[in-house]
Amino acid sequence: MKLKLSEFISNDDMELHYKDNLPSSNVNGADTYILKKGEAIPEIFVTLYLKNNPKLLQNLIILNGIPQLTEEQEKKYGIKFVRKITTFEQESEKEKSKFTLEDLNVKVNELGKTKFKDWAENTFGKEKIDKRKATENIAADILEIQDEEK
């Protein structure tokens, strides 16, 4: 029986076993297919390698540990890879603060203390910014305001 070859190329020499046109882990009663490095992999083994060891597929593009398949390949092999977003990525995707303490310190140095206080009052409102405070305290107030808005 001749196996239909896929578009994927082997990254190593392999001895593959199949029975009834399906991959087989049991060697007894199974047919053997000897695959050399650089040869096309039979289609019946592609799904198995995509799931368990995609690095054995030489011409498969893998981004961030996820095999990249075309829509046709997903349909053909009955497999789709979906990227899971980690908790760290969810936190980093949240809206980032408009200002950091460093940004505010740079702004104080650029404008001077008096103009910085005026800018802060105009930007965030008289009810939230007290110009009588020191610039460091105003900067802290601005950061608190940003945190409350999140």
Q: What is the pLDDT of residues 26-43, one digit of tens each?
A: 888 888 888 899 999 999
Structurally, the chain folds into a number of domains equal to 2
Assigned domain for 57 exists: yes
3-state secondary structure of 6: strand
Range of the domain at 50: 5-77
- Specify whether 66 is located in the same domain as 108: no
Q: How far apart are CA 43 and CA 2, in angstroms?
A: 11
Cβ contact 107:116 at 8 Å: yes
Question: Would residue 113 count as lying in a domain?
Answer: yes
71, 110: one domain = no
**Residue 88: inside a domain, yes or no?**
no
Averaged pLDDT, 50-54: 87
Kindly state whether residue 90 falls inside one of the protein's structural domains: no
67 and 108 assigned to the same domain: no
Same domain, 108 and 145: yes
> Could you tell me if residue 110 is inside a domain?
yes
* Alpha helix segments (H runs only) across 1-134: 43-52, 71-77, 87-93, 101-111, 113-124
Q: Are 74 and 80 in contact (CB under 8 A)?
A: yes
Identity (one letter) of the amino acid at 27?
V
Res 67: pLDDT: 86
pLDDT > 90? residue 99: no
CA nearest to 55, candidates 97, 116, 14: 14
Q: What is the pLDDT of residue 89?
A: 52
The DSSP letter of residue 131 is T
Residue 33 falls inside a structural domain = yes
What is the mean pLDDT of the segment spanning 130-137?
Answer: 92
Summarize pLDDT for 63-78 with one digit per residue, the tens.
Answer: 877 888 888 988 898 8
Give domain status of residue 24, yes or no.
yes
Say what the pLDDT of residue 85 is. Answer: 60
* Residue 93's pLDDT band (cuts 50, 70, 90): very low
With respect to residue 84, please indicate whether it lies within any of the assigned structural domains: no
Domain boundary among 32, 50, 77: 77
**Domain shared by 11 and 73, yes or no:** yes
100 plus 142 within the same structural domain: yes
What local confidence, expressed as pLDDT, does residue 88 receive? 57
Q: Cβ contacts of residue 31 below 8 Å, gap of 6+?
A: 1, 17, 18, 19
